[in-house]
Structure 1
Amino acid sequence: MGRKIGVTVFVVTPHGIHPHASSVRCFLLDDHGEKTHWIPATMPMPNIVYNRIPDRLSEQRHEEQDAIQFFLETPGIQLFNPGFFDKWTLYEYLMKSEKTQLYLPETVQWGNGTECRHLFRRHPILFLKPVDGKAGLDMIRIIREPKGYEVIQQSKNGKKRYHETHFRSLRRLLESLTKQRKYILQQGIPLATYHNSPFDLRLLLQKDGAGCWQVTGLGIRVAGLEAISTHVPMGGSIAPAHEVLRNVFRERQAEIREEIERTALKIARHIEAEKRCNLGEMSMDLGIEPNGRLWFFEANAKPMKFDEPDIRHLSLARLIHYCLYLSGFKQSKEA
């Protein structure tokens, strides 16, 4: 894609950066043969850097932090998406504005378990979510039942189900499952369903060749059988957005889609303003009730690849056009 647009795209690691050099050691994609592969190269210092360090643990290492700081401080280089988001910080950002706080489920920081008792007075279903989690891993659902509490924990090894009769034993169980990790506790939302399975909305938002936020794509993720989230690695599946919205909302589908995109753009702009850094793209998870009410669940500063081919193609083009915008090059065609 970069070659088609006339841009050289390469991957650089902290080991390829020397602060006093005018070039970097990097890797270029060679796709001319039967198989694509990466080849080592030496290139001039980049004009634009997108931080795609893949996980939080790697990003916090000294080498990676030094590299990020180098690009942020070097004149003539612009870096965007400097780090991951976390769920609690995003909640605090969105609570600052009346225009965005209405999309937030009731949410508190998980502490000693007393928060659970308070939220159960208003909500029959609660979720515990790691503030730094991804793909639904280590998420916990708690349901208040007539004779106790049902707890399901979702991990890379599958799902574990528990039943506790008393709140005291529930509290001990949750303390053992969270294991000192930081979690948020959040009300459960009665999601709209497609073929009797709950679904939510996954959007890719990107800046275009004029530096403006746009919705690049909207995907639907449908929960798997007995799943507590819609994440595909946890058993969820992908469904076409137009088909699901038409099936569920009938004649309101166009109105609903417009509201989804308008809401996501409003939230993206607010997150960037609060974070006070340059963001070029993010993915966002929104929930929707049967009546069309929207809820914000999560945003991700390092979006995973969307499986929908049309979204994938446009996302690559738009990303490169945004880099051209940052670098000040005139563009004959903008994404």
Structure 2
Amino acid sequence: MRKKYPVEFIHHSKQLVFIPADLPNSKDIRRVAFGNKLLPVTVAPHPKGRNVIVLSNDVQKELSMPDLSVPLHVFIDQQTLFIGPLIGILTSGFTSYPLRPIGERSMVFAKLLSVNKSVGALPFVFGEEHIDWDQGLIDGYFFVDGGWKILKVPFPNVIYDRLPNRRTERKSELRSLKARMQTDYLIPWYNPGFFSKLDVFERLQQDERAVEYLPETHQFSSFSVMERMLSNYGNVYVKPANGSLGLGIHQILFDKQNGYYYCRYRDQEGINKLTKFDSLEKLMKKIFHNRNLSQMIVQQGIHLLRSDKRLIDFRVHTNKDEYGQWQLAAIAAKIAGNGSVTTHVNNGGTVKSLDELFEDQEERETCEKKLTKAALTLSSVLEKNMEGIIGEIGFDLGIDKSGKVWLFEANSKPGRSIFKHPKLKNFDLLTRKLSLSFGVFLAEKAITAPEELFQ
């Protein structure tokens, strides 16, 4: 277990650092580092034998280290004492309002930063516009004592990517920022990019451990492929390859007895519709007339478990922990709204804990075990087959009437709407802690074994 130490500051001007009495391998320390700042110092054991780190205020000023009363980790490598880590959380959409500097997402970030003491790190939020490249400093947004505070800090040990959407991520300034931080400063960057649905399925198909969870999925190519899938499965889902929040998803059903095709979807006014056609061509022409079908995927329909005749699927979050291992972080059931094609809350869906969904304990435990195994297996396979450092994934999984688990989607930046449910508060806290704990793991790796990260 890594230890965390309180950090204190004293008025002194001799670039002095007192180190904890129980810190091993400390005799040869010649420098101290915070973020990407490095400073030669005079090091001595704490004169009273206390297990704290004490910095003279000239060292604190040179390192741009804020005094936030947060116990921090220390790592020793090449005669340098690294204190931190400093975790930069990159996002966009900053406002001029001090109480809500990141608009509607301010509270989400405030809750994320609030686990700093239990994790032993200094996390802050920043945007591309807050970086001073010449000075190597960032105006970081910290959440302190219930309010936002802007403090100048060095470039961080690691960057956690929380850019809100694909459009922002594609901006040239942000792409060059990422390249510069990784190449010039060797800063690990975790959770980059948004997954493409089709890309995820194609990569998972390369590993036999994942194949059993994958419904048949194709990029739209022809009506004949859809006809075959409808004949085989009775229904298919047509969805945008890069969609989110359940937007643009259509379920197409084929009634073999009377030869009719049905389409269930949500229209632009937010009303759930079910329309009937006597041919697939007529359905596609009417419903998809203004859509680029090459940007859509067609996926096998599954006969899912139901609750009061409403479809059920499951949101399962996995995170990497402070040792770089995948953990199940959250699990919840989502029940579709009346007549809805998806289980999303904005489509009238409801969230339930597994306790609420399954009255029978054995049934609940069996379901939880299957979903956990699937999510951890898929996390491991995705990490191996996707570019970049992945630290969290949100899976949409289904269980069919025979008890088999299916993957519908994997999200690299999972939404947090399930955590509004009062019975999921502990999961909410755990996912936030793990998001930053993985940053501690990456910071230590970047210091002690950078070749493992930057191959």
Are residues 1:221 and 2:334 paired?
Answer: yes
Q: Which runs of 5+ in 1 are unaligned?
A: 331-335
- 1:59 aligns with 169
- 1:300 aligns with 411
- Contact 2:220/2:293 (8 A) holds in 1: no
- Contact 2:310/2:336 (8 A) holds in 1: yes
**How far did 1:135 drift?**
1.3
Are residues 1:211 and 2:324 paired?
Answer: yes
Are residues 1:314 and 2:449 paired?
Answer: no
Per mean C-alpha deviation after superposition, the further-off stretch among 188-197 and 172-181 is: 172-181
- Secondary structure of 2:218's aligned partner: strand
**How far did 1:216 drift?**
0.7
> Structure with the greater relative contact order (CA < 8 A, sep ≥ 6): 1 or 2?
1
Are residues 1:267 and 2:378 paired?
Answer: yes
Are residues 1:126 and 2:236 paired?
Answer: yes
- Contact 2:124/2:142 (8 A) holds in 1: yes
Q: Cα deviations across residues 223-274 of structure 1 (Å, max 9, x unaligned)?
A: 1111111111111101111332444xx6343233212101110001100100
In 2 relative to 1, CA 231–132 (structure 1 residues): closer, same or farther, beyond 3 Å? same
- Contact 1:220/1:241 (8 A) holds in 2: yes
Q: Cα deviations across residues 276-309 of structure 1 (Å, max 9, x unaligned)?
A: 3211111111000122110001111112124121
Are residues 1:281 and 2:392 paired?
Answer: yes
- 1:150 aligns with 262
Larger Rg: 2
- 1:328 aligns with 444
In 2 relative to 1, CA 148–277 (structure 1 residues): closer, same or farther, beyond 3 Å? same
What is the distance in 1 between the residues matched to 2:294 and 2:174?
23
What is the distance in 1 between the residues matched to 2:286 and 2:149?
50
- 2:154 aligns with 44
Identity over the aligned pairs, expressed in percent? 25
Structure 1: which amino acid aligns with 2:435? Answer: L
Per mean C-alpha deviation after superposition, the further-off stretch among 312-321 and 152-161 is: 152-161
**How far did 1:62 drift?**
1.1
- 2:184 aligns with 74
What is the distance in 2 between the residues matched to 1:178 and 1:101?
30
What is the distance in 1 between the residues matched to 2:193 and 2:215?
25
| Partner of residue 302 from structure 2, selected from 171, 175, 189 | 189
In 2 relative to 1, CA 73–245 (structure 1 residues): closer, same or farther, beyond 3 Å? farther
Per mean C-alpha deviation after superposition, the further-off stretch among 250-259 and 284-293 is: 250-259
What is the distance in 2 between the residues matched to 1:277 and 1:246?
41
**TM-score, normalised to structure 1's length?**
0.90
- Contact 2:336/2:349 (8 A) holds in 1: yes
What is the distance in 1 between the residues matched to 2:199 and 2:134?
36
Are residues 1:113 and 2:226 paired?
Answer: no
Are residues 1:244 and 2:357 paired?
Answer: yes
| Partner of residue 367 from structure 2, selected from 246, 256, 261 | 256
**How far did 1:139 drift?**
0.4
What is the distance in 1 between the residues matched to 2:313 and 2:321?
25
- 1:162 aligns with 275
- Contact 1:230/1:237 (8 A) holds in 2: yes
- Contact 1:136/1:154 (8 A) holds in 2: no
- Contact 2:221/2:294 (8 A) holds in 1: no
What is the distance in 2 between the residues matched to 1:324 and 1:199?
36
What is the distance in 2 between the residues matched to 1:178 and 1:123?
24
What is the distance in 2 between the residues matched to 1:113 and 1:39?
57
In 2 relative to 1, CA 63–156 (structure 1 residues): closer, same or farther, beyond 3 Å? farther
